[in-house]
Structure 1
Amino acid sequence: MNILIAILGVLIVFGLTFAASSDRRRIRYRPLLVMIVLQVLLAFVLLYTGAGNFLIEGFASVFDTLLSYAAEGVNFVFGGIANEGQAPFFLTVLLPIVFISALIGILQYTRILPFIIKYIGLVLSKVNGMGKLESYNAVASAILGQSEVFISVKKQIGALPKHRLYTLCASAMSTVSMSIVGSYMQMIDPKYVVAALVLNLFGGFIIASILNPYSVSKEEDILEVQEEKDEKQSFFEMLGEYIMDGFKVAIVVAAMLIGFVALIALINGIFSGIFGISFQELLGYVFAPFAFVMGVPWNEAVDAGSIMAIKMVSNEFVAMLELGNHTGLSARTIGIVSVFLVSFANFSSIGIIAGAVKGLNEKQGNVVARFGLKLLFGATMVSILSATIAGLFI
């Protein structure tokens, strides 16, 4: 039964994406088939085999170790502030982002990350049938983040046609930044975080290939990565910059959580008082069919749908907190919804990505803003596809 529902889910995702495609005649089906098979195989290995569990446990243990080091810095500055026996969300989940950001800066400065990202991207371009730039950008987005990734290709941003610019932005919205992966792992099971990272990478190519199909000529398929390192900037200047960037991310996420959680509580109160049903419950009914085709049992689909909707209208952190409050959900539902939540597919990301591109090229930033809703649609389809594939093995 789960297999039939998964097939139905994949067909619905493909049908909706095909209906919104900008040029159906140019869709290339062979790379799509290859990537779907790869998604299924990777989900099987990561979620259903001993080797996959070993890899995920190793990955999670690395982040556990890094977060323990981060805790040393947090405790040094904030030790004694927290109430005994309590773990404030900002201190334990968000502030470690500062340390992870510093590590990313070091790897970027020493040219280790650019080397890894570039050549993984080149290998992926052979599989997905897309350009080298698009493949590089997808990998880079998963490590550098949805804003920072555009800096590394800023030389090419101004010359990109609309269809290629869309694919770059779609990759940035479909993935998550490595600097906050550790924070996710403290809120949901690490194996679902890792599975989502891998599945979203290929899912982004699949959805973009249907929604925005095109071919890149050899003359156009040139990858020129802008190096961030500046001779005028010393190692410690770079380190200070990345540490401050990480702190800014933590503060921004905290501010958005305060605002969105409070607003959702207000809206829930208004809806409950007027209509006798909360705003979350109403959204849950809207998203329940999508939760069902992802593999969520129908009796839990409304609750799952409300969490999915919260992720879209606010962000993944708010939704993960809400998921933790639903203690009555089955392990299968928690796993499927967890995979869905690991992406930047929400309304606020439209502004973040458009702003990042506009900061490099104002004209292209305006182009991105115009296809913002299409970006959100595509990224949401990626999340549904990844969760559906993962549901086969949960």
Structure 2
Amino acid sequence: MLSYLLAYNRYLNIVGIIAILSIAWIFSRARFSIDLRQIASAFILQVATAYIILKTHIGMWIVSKIAQGATALYGYTGVGIKFLFGTLSDESNAWGFIFAFKVLPIMVFFGALTAVLFHLRIIQTVVGILSAIVRPLLGTTGAETLCAVANGFLGQTESPLLVRNYLSSMTRSEMMVVMVSGMATVSGAIVTSFAFMGVPLEHLLTSCIMSVPGSILIAKILCPETERRVASTKKVLPVESSSDNIFGAIAKGTLDGLQLALNVGAMLISFLGLLALCNGALSLLCSLGVNYRLLPASWLGHCSIQSIIGVFARPFAYVLGLQGQEQVVAAQLIGTKVAINELMAYIDMLSSNVLSSRTIAILTYALCGFSNFSCIGIQIGGIGALVPERRHLITQFGLYAVLGGTLTNLLNACIVSLFI
């Protein structure tokens, strides 16, 4: 046992788990109202999920089959991409892999596919079954559980649609679950896009599943239940598709997927450009500082936003058991994910040549979530549009949601690191 914990510095993962839960407790809005039984149940379920998927044959078989199915869908996606873009979508040519022609169109396809599955009530059925399993185990209400589970399949603005009739009567604690679970996961269309880029799909899927109990755990520490649960007395009604028929669902899903792809592409253009501009300005200031002997020469080449954020994220990379250059790169990736978004962090991760396959697997969990500053605005605009009278609360909980989502992802990474 001792030798196992010493291997890959796994003992630090236990320290990390304690540290993450302690940080959540420190920022809790009602520390002495925390339901320890609920927290323990959520943590056990989170650990059990990781163990079953990663260490048992049945768990690995199920996830591998899902991954194989998703991979097969890429082939069908490629038919439309090749027809529209021709050889530009063939990465074997001289121009290589072009993100705009290989990844963004996948979001359009899966937007349509998700809409069809929603219209046929397949998504609602799966989410309902999982919600029925999770709710009695964790003692959560039907509305908050349903939204937390749905976030593993849909986006952080789509999932609240399933409980939109209950948002106005939710307690502050339930609203925190809605927001944190949205920050701690990524949508199905984004998952498939990440996998197509080269991020391990099995670990992406496992992370989304683990984030359901994990986000509830962190949310209930940050904002324990102290109010009368009005929503718990109501039955969550099934949500029907807004499309009249399957063709309408395809059209709506395609347009939604197109909007998502355009938003992602536009954000990449602006964020990458602005990041390069800021890094250029910092590099210039650093060079001037070195020339006038105000800064040590060792600062040259290290004056960038990623490096600065990486310094603050270094302790989290340390408790993941990483050492040396891997720890430095991992810290920068975590900082990039929180400050900008997870997509840029994954791009940097895949382009790094210093990370081992095990480290890439661990970082897949640490980065698999929407928890970044820009998503505060997305939740205010998305959830706030569904329940305008609670917009002030959503604004108030914005930074808490980013913190909760980030802690959930890091907790997933620490737990998984104990098993791989």
Q: TM > 0.5 between the two?
A: yes
TM-superposed CA distance for 1:353, in Å, is: 0.9
Find the aligned partners of 1:15 and 1:236 in 2 and give their Cα distance: 50
Out of 343, 354, 361, the residue aligned to residue 317 of structure 1 is: 343
Which position in structure 1 is the counterpart of 2:253?
A: 242
User: In structure 1, how many angstroms separate the alpha carbons of the residues matched to 2:58 and 2:161?
Assistant: 36
Of 142, 161, 165, the residue aligned with 2:171 is: 161
The AA in structure 2 aligned to 1:90 is A
Q: Tell which deviates more after alignment, 309-318 or 293-302.
A: 293-302
Which moved further from structure 2: 59-68 or 109-118? 109-118
- Which of 273-282 and 219-228 deviates more? 219-228
SS of 1:243 mapped into structure 2: helix
Deviation at 1:52, TM superposition (A): 3.6
Structure 2 match to 1:369: 395
Deviation at 1:331, TM superposition (A): 2.5
**What is the aligned partner in structure 1 of residue 296 from structure 2?**
none
* TM-score, normalization by structure 2: 0.88
CA–CA separation in structure 1 for the residues paired with 2:360 and 2:231:
43
Mapped partners of 1:380, 1:34: distance in 2: 20
Q: Please state if 1:193 is matched with 2:204.
A: yes
Identity %: 29
Amino acid at match of 2:74: L
Judge conservation of contact 1:281–1:303 (CA < 8 Å) in 2: no
Greater mean alpha carbon deviation, residues 18-27 or residues 362-371? 362-371
1:147 matched residue in structure 2: 157
Residue by residue over 1:7-63, the C-alpha shift from the partner in whole angstroms, topping out at 9 and shown as x without a partner, is 100110111110111112221222322332332232233234444432332111111
Task: Report if aligned partners of 2:171, 2:229 keep a CA contact under 8 Å in 1.
Answer: no
Q: Which amino acid aligns with 2:224?
A: P
Task: Kindly provide the amino acid, as one letter, of the partner of residue 130 in structure 1.
Answer: T
- CA deviation map 1:290-312 (0-9, x unaligned): 11112222542221110111111
Change (3 A) 1:127 1:215: farther
The one-letter code matched in structure 1 to 2:220 is S
Q: CA deviation at 1:180?
A: 1.8
- Structure 2 match to 1:183: 193
Structure 1 residue runs without a partner (length 5+)? none
Deviating beyond 3 angstroms after TM superposition, the runs of 4 or more aligned structure 1 residues are 48-53, 80-83, 215-220
Take 2:149 and 2:201, find their aligned partners in 1: how far apart are those partners?
Answer: 20
Consecutive unaligned residues of structure 2, counting only runs of 5 or more, are 1-5, 287-299
Is 1:208 matched up with 2:215? no
**What is the DSSP-based 3-state SS (H/G/I as helix, E as strand, rest coil) of the residue aligned with 1:144?**
coil
Correspondence for 2:50:
43
Task: Say if 1:119 and 1:47 are closer, same or farther in 2 by CA, change over 3 A.
Answer: closer
8 Å Cα contact 2:170/2:231 also seen in 1: no
1:220 aligns with 2:231: yes
Counterparts of 1:84-103 in structure 2 under 5 Å?
84-85=93-94, 86-103=96-113
Distance 1:217 1:121 in 2: 21
Aligned equivalents of 2:104, 2:255: Cα separation in 1:
13
Is 1:390 matched up with 2:397?
no
SS of corresponding position for 2:419 = coil
Three-state SS of the structure 2 residue aligned to 1:142 is: coil
Q: Check if 1:174 corresponds to 2:181.
A: no
Task: State the distance in 2 between where 1:218 and 1:211 align.
Answer: 17
Match of 1:263 in 2: 274
Residue by residue over 1:203-234, the C-alpha shift from the partner in whole angstroms, topping out at 9 and shown as x without a partner, is 1011012111116767631243462434x733
> 3-state SS of the aligned residue for 1:188?
coil
| Residue 36 (structure 2) pairs with residue 24 (structure 1) | no
**2:128 corresponds to:** 118
**Any idea what the Cα deviations from partners look like across 1:226-271, whole Å, max 9, x if unmatched?**
62434x7333222201110011111111111111122222222222
SS of 2:166's equivalent?
helix
Instruction: State the Cα RMSD in Å.
Output: 1.9
Match of 1:327 among 345, 353, 370: 353
Distance 1:247 1:241 in 2: 10
How many angstroms does 1:355 deviate by?
0.4
Equivalent position amino acid for 2:330 in 1: A
Equivalent positions of 1:337-352 (< 5 A) are 337-352=363-378
Residue of 262, 283, 289 corresponding to 2:315: 289
1:80 and 1:10 map into 2 onto residues whose CA distance is: 48
Q: CA deviation at 1:336?
A: 1.5
Shift of residue 140 of structure 1?
A: 1.2
Residue 252 of structure 1 aligns with which residue?
A: 263
Do residues 59 (structure 1) and 66 (structure 2) align? yes
Cα distance change, pair 117–327 in 1 and its aligned pair in 2 (3 A):
same
The TM-score normalised by the length of structure 1 is 0.94
Per the alignment, in what secondary structure is the counterpart of residue 241 of structure 2?
A: coil
Q: What code does the residue aligned with 2:285 have?
A: I
Corresponding residue for residue 358 of structure 1: 384
